[in-house]
Amino acid sequence: MARSVGSLSLTHWLAIALAAVSAFVHLVLGVSFLPHWMGVAFLGATAGFLLGIALVIRNYRRRLVYLLGIPFTAGQIVLWYVVNEPTALADLSAAEAVDKVAQILLIALLLVLLARRD
């Protein structure tokens, strides 16, 4: 595993940190919403972000993880918008704002990582 971790760049670590932020937000929401189906959905999102982090750290098909991570993360944003229907920035809670900023930045970093050839 040391070799896998050693191959991670600053961009990788930033993307991992952003995915961890989103995983944490979804974990907290998931636990608070259980046993409602939304709780299960939030925990599923948590699992997806954590799986992506683990696969990148283990250097398992990273380019595929980046490629799948983009629509997965974008889907989180779209689903949030559809469920919450915000009309202004004031409609966002602090947790929602942190999560959405983290997700937008994560998508940007995944695009950068996908475009790289290293």
Q: How far is CA 72 from CA 30, 77, 89, 92, 93, in A?
A: 17, 9, 23, 21, 22
**pLDDT for residue 86:** 87
Q: Is the CB of residue 15 less than 8 Å from the CB of residue 72?
A: no
Q: What is the pLDDT along the chain (118 residues), one digit of tens a residue?
A: 445 778 899 999 999 999 999 999 999 999 999 999 999 999 999 999 999 999 999 999 999 999 999 999 999 999 999 998 888 888 889 999 999 999 999 999 999 999 997 6
Q: What residues make up the domain containing 57?
A: 2-115
pTM over 0.85: yes
**pLDDT for residue 4:** 74
Amino acid at 57: I
Report the distance separating Cα 85 and Cα 95, nearest Å.
16
**pLDDT for residue 1:** 45
Tally the domains of the chain: 1
Token pair for 7: 């191959």
**pLDDT for residue 101:** 96
CA 8, 14, 15: angle at the middle one, nearest 5? 85
**pLDDT for residue 2:** 45
